[in-house]
Amino acid sequence: MASTPYPPPLQPTYPDRDGTMATELPPTRVALVTGAAQGIGEAIARQLADDGLDIALNDIPQKLDQLSAVAKVIESKGCRATIVTGDVTVEEDVASMVSKTAAELGALDVMIANAGIFLFKPLLDTSVEEWERMLAINGKGVFLSIKYAAKKMIEQGRGGRIICAASVAGIRGSPVCGIYCASKFAVRGLVQSAALELKQHGITVNAYCPGFIATPMIALPGDEENGGTGQTIKKLLNYPAEVGKPSNVANTVSYLAKPESAFVTGQSMVIDGGLTMS
């Protein structure tokens, strides 16, 4: 009796452009980006629109004005945009943002589980409440995003891309942000496991692991005098690499979102200007 190979071979996610497969490539692919009101999420949304995808933009309801501004930019590129506010830690919100995306834009092909928070604090000064909030947003939020996106992609039957925000802090511990590191290690565990679980459906699951990137997340008082966003934290920590731009991350995510990246799954792509070597 022939044994089933393990791990099973990757299925092609999308048909080849030369039409060698039976199914037609959908006219436009659709991405949902969480935490898209600013920073890396906004840059990813803009980049994926440049790549020709329609975009559903998520963030918490308090960021509606920022989301509307991003939606206008996406539409000015000739793509469709829709806003699906919600909290990634709330199961009903994640289920609803996925179903609204498919209802309003026709499908969900690319899920970017980007929403996250940072805490610059040693473990001994960190409270249980801070731990629970960190793991809820950075851990449970990514778990729910993977779960509901994958269910929709399996239902559609044409594969997909799930791409999650980890960090270089998810590869090596740090004495100044211990619970953030723990949450990003959790993301990488979820990504590797989901990659194995979902490859039979032609869904790839990967993580992006930035070093410091100039966004509101790492802005500290004194940045302006020090030469820009992130320069204070760089100085405080004696950080030996350059602080990157959100577009540096968006370019890598753009590759992972493409049909052509079908053979890359379970990976943690580091984007840190050479700080970490794998």
Ligand X SMILES: NC(=O)c1ccc[n+]([C@@H]2O[C@H](COP(=O)([O-])OP(=O)(O)OC[C@H]3O[C@@H](n4cnc5c(N)ncnc54)[C@H](O)[C@@H]3O)[C@@H](O)[C@H]2O)c1
Token readout for 173 is 């511990």
**Which residue in 81, 102, 194, 213 binds ligand X (CB under 6 A)?**
213
Separation CA 203–CA 124 (nearest Å): 40
**Is 234 among the residues known to form the active site?**
no
Residue 269 found at the interface with ligand X (CB under 6 A): no
As measured in angstroms, the least distance from the Cβ of 156 to ligand X is 24
Q: Closer to ligand X by CB, 115 or 149: give it.
A: 115
Assign 15 to helix, strand or coil.
coil
- Minimum Å distance from CB 1 to ligand X? 46
Active site residue 184: yes
Q: Give whole-number Cα distances, 256 to 84, 160, 161, 203, in Å.
A: 23, 11, 7, 11
β-pairing, 54-57 vs 81-83, is parallel
- 182 part of the interface to ligand X, by CB under 6 A: no
Binding residues for ligand X restricted to 131-160, rule: CB under 6 A: 137, 141
Name which of 86 and 160 has its Cβ closer to ligand X: 86
35 binding ligand X? (CB under 6 A): yes
Please list, in sequence order, all residues whose beta carbon lies within 8 angstroms of the beta carbon of residue 23, skipping any fewer than 6 positions away: 15, 158
User: What is the smallest separation between the CB atom of 70 and ligand X, expressed in angstroms?
Assistant: 10
Q: How far is CA 122 from the centre of its chain?
A: 26
Strand-strand pairing, 203-210 and 160-165: parallel
**C-beta of 109: minimal distance to ligand X in Å?**
21
Counting Cβ atoms within 10 Å, is residue 61 exposed (0-12), middle (13-18) or buried (19+)? exposed
Between CA 191 and CA 214 the distance in angstroms is: 25
Binding residue (CB under 6 A) for ligand X from 13, 31, 39, 195: 39
On the CB side of 42, CA atoms within 13 Å amount to: 18
Q: Which two tokens stand for residue 256?
A: 């992972």
User: Residues 57-86: x/- map of binding to ligand X (CB under 6 A)?
Assistant: --xx--x-----------------------
Window 245-264: residues binding ligand X (CB under 6 A):
none
Task: Mark residues 98-117: x for contact with ligand X by CB under 6 A, - for none.
Answer: ----------------xxxx
Closest CA to 57 of 105, 116, 9, 8: 105
CB of 104 to ligand X, least distance (A): 18
> 218 and 212 in contact (C-beta within 8 Å)?
yes
CB of 71 to ligand X, least distance (A): 14
Residue 276 has which token pair? Answer: 């970490």
For position 38 contacting ligand X by CB under 6 A, the verdict is: yes
Q: Name the catalytic one among 100, 140, 152, 184.
A: 184
Catalytic residues: 180, 184
- Binding interface with ligand X (CB under 6 A): 34-35, 37-41, 59-60, 63, 87-89, 114-118, 137, 141, 165, 167, 210, 212-213, 215-218
